[in-house]
């Protein structure tokens, strides 16, 4: 089989909205001592830097958001609502803030383990939210800052687009204040033909 092609720093080190759009269809891989889990990215959200009030970097760097100003291709994991970890990937060149929230996956490898992690009875909605993804793939603060361009437990590979699929854009979810730009992207199946 072909060697997995891991997305490199040049992929991540570009405009955040563009990276968010192009991450659709890519494969997120979580590798631990117990094996491999993966999923195809089908929903993302872009968060930029100063001037984006919904972004953690929107009011300049803080200890938490500093990573968004750092080198691209790193994981930005943070804890939200007292119970969920959320996974982002850092974008833009070093010195410029940006990150893409991974919001939805189509389950791939390690399905049984993902089901177990999620305590799911059915596969409906198994990984269709950012908190579900981190729960399902065992992603937490220990992975914050991880270099996604290396094969170090968490990385993203070139995936594929299925025929007929299209990308839709809409406003970000759960944003009370600020921008309602179309910064949320989804990969939706073709209408069948």
CB of 84 to DNA, least distance (A): 5
Distances (CA, A) of 70 to 2, 78, 96: 32, 16, 7
Provide the CB-side half-sphere exposure for 143 (13 A, CA).
28
Binding mask 134-173 for DNA (x = CB under 7 A): --------------------------------------xx
Considering the complex, state which of residue 13 and residue 130 has its C-beta at the smaller distance from DNA. 130
Looking only at the bridges linking them, the beta strands covering 35-47 and 166-170 are unpaired
Give the DSSP letter of residue 190.
Answer: -
DSSP state of 169: E
Query: Which tokens is 67 given?
Result: 């990573």
Q: Of 29-37, 105-113, 130-138, 157-165, which segment contacts DNA by CB under 7 A?
A: 130-138
Q: How far is the CB of 53 from DNA (least distance, A)?
A: 9
Name the minimum Å distance from CB 175 to DNA.
Answer: 6
In 96-183, the DSSP E strands lie at 99-107, 154-157, 166-170
Our CB check for DNA shows the closer of 14 and 115 to be 115
Q: Minimum distance between the CB of residue 120 and DNA, rounded to whole angstroms? A: 8
CA distance 130 to 155: 16
User: CA 155, CA 151: separation in Å to the nearest integer?
Assistant: 6
Among 64, 151, 158, 161, interactor with DNA by CB under 7 A? 64
Q: Which stretch binds DNA (CB under 7 A): 21-29, 35-43, 125-133, 150-158?
A: 125-133
Instruction: Tell me: does residue 73 bind DNA (CB under 7 A).
Output: no
Q: Does 65 bind DNA (CB under 7 A)?
A: yes
In the complex, minimum distance from the CB of residue 148 to DNA, in angstroms, rounded to a whole number: 15
| Closest residue by Cα to residue 185 from 72, 25, 56 | 25
According to DSSP, the residues that pair with 107 across neighbouring strands are: 39
Q: Which residues bind DNA (CB under 7 A)?
A: 45, 47, 54-57, 59, 62-65, 68, 76, 78-84, 86, 88, 99, 101, 118, 125, 129-132, 172-177
């Amino acid at each position: 089989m072909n060697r997995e092609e891991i997305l490199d720093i040049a992929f991540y080190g570009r405009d955040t909205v563009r990276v968010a759009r192009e991450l659709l269809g890519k494969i997120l891989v979580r590798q631990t001592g117990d094996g491999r889990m993966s999923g195809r990215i089908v929903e993302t959200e872009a968060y930029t830097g100063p001037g984006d009030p919904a972004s953690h970097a929107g009011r300049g760097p803080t200890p938490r958001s500093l990573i968004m100003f750092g080198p691209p291709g790193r994981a930005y994991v943070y804890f939200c609502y007292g119970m969920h970890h959320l996974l982002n990937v850092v974008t833009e060149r070093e010195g410029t803030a940006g990150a893409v929230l991974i919001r939805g996956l189509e389950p791939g490898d390690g399905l049984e383990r993902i089901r177990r992690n999620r305590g799911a009875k059915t596969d409906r909605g198994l990984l269709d939210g950012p908190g579900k993804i981190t729960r399902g793939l065992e992603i937490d603060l220990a992975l914050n800052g991880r270099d996604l361009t290396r094969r170090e437990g968490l990385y993203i590979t070139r995936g594929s687009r299925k025929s007929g699929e299209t990308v839709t854009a809409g406003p970000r979810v759960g944003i009370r204040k600020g921008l309602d730009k179309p910064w949320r992207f989804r990969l939706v199946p073709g209408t069948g033909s």
